[in-house]
Amino acid sequence: MEGKLYSVQGKELGTVQLDDAVFGLPINEDVIYYAIHNELANARVGSACTKGRSEVHGTNRRPYAQKGTGRARQGDVKSPLYVGGGIVFGPKPRDYSYRMPRKAKRLAIKTILSLKAQERVLKVVQDFTVPAGKTKDLASILKTVLPREKDERTVVILKDDDADLKRAGRNIPWLHFLSYNRLRAHDLFYGRSVVVLESAVKSLNEFYSGN
């Protein structure tokens, strides 16, 4: 399939080849869900921790005599029944991450790229950079390239890491940069606009055209 190629001024320059095996797949909602769930699970810190009755600081003696008071027997003040006592079955630090099959993850990325192409929110733009690394210059380019709503999440796919371009985009909260070989399903799926640099298209075709 062919896609339109635009200049940084927003003018149509011609067409660019988009591999059907990457940008023309049927939509598989299940694999997209699993890929996003996997990324979110791997990002969880899992540091929540509570103390059981054996870990709470306090005395081991009984709060009052076991017999003769008419009250229920109590072991110590660290019991979960007391304020400040231990927590029953509370969370402990754990690792939520798990591995997703490589083929399934690659299929999810290709499916999302196909979805964005079908929704016509994926735009191929000629390579550009911001030598001065100024946010104002990058914002001006994006405003020309993308007629967009305010604060609409945008993803820019690069062929290589561009330090100047990324520095210029650090102060734009709705802008995310992704390298063609390190795409994240979550950022890509929730991007309302996807800009692919011309040099990254060929890399995407070659990198994801296989299994």
In the chain, CATH 3.40.1370.10 covers: 2-29+102-208
Higher pLDDT, 141 or 147: 141
Other beta carbons within 10 angstroms of residue 125's beta carbon come to 24
Segment 1-42, tens digit of pLDDT: 888 999 988 888 999 999 999 999 999 999 999 999 999 999
Give the separation between CA 188 and CA 113, rounded to whole angstroms: 8
The residue among 120, 128, 124 whose CA lies nearest residue 15 is: 124
CATH topology of domain 2-29+102-208: Ribosomal Protein L4; Chain: A; (3.40.1370)
The whole-angstrom separation of Cα 152 and Cα 173 is 10
Rounded-to-integer distance, Cα 141 and Cα 50, Å: 50
145 CA to centre of own chain: 24
Burial of 160 per CB tally in 10 Å (0-12, 13-18, 19+): exposed
Q: Check: CB of residue 122 under 8 Å from CB of residue 158.
A: no
**CA atoms within a 13 Å half-sphere pointing along the CA-CB vector of 163:** 0
Q: For 42-95, write each residue's pLDDT tens digit.
A: 999 999 999 999 999 989 999 999 999 999 999 999 999 999 999 999 999 999
Q: What pLDDT shows up at residue 146?
A: 83
- In degrees and rounded to multiples of 5, residue 27 shows phi and psi of -80, 125
Q: What is the pLDDT of residues 142-191, one digit of tens each?
A: 888 887 656 789 999 999 888 899 999 999 999 999 999 999 999 999 99
Q: Name the residue among 17, 16, 19 with its Cα closest to residue 207.
A: 19
CA-to-CA distance for 211 and 201, rounded, in angstroms?
18
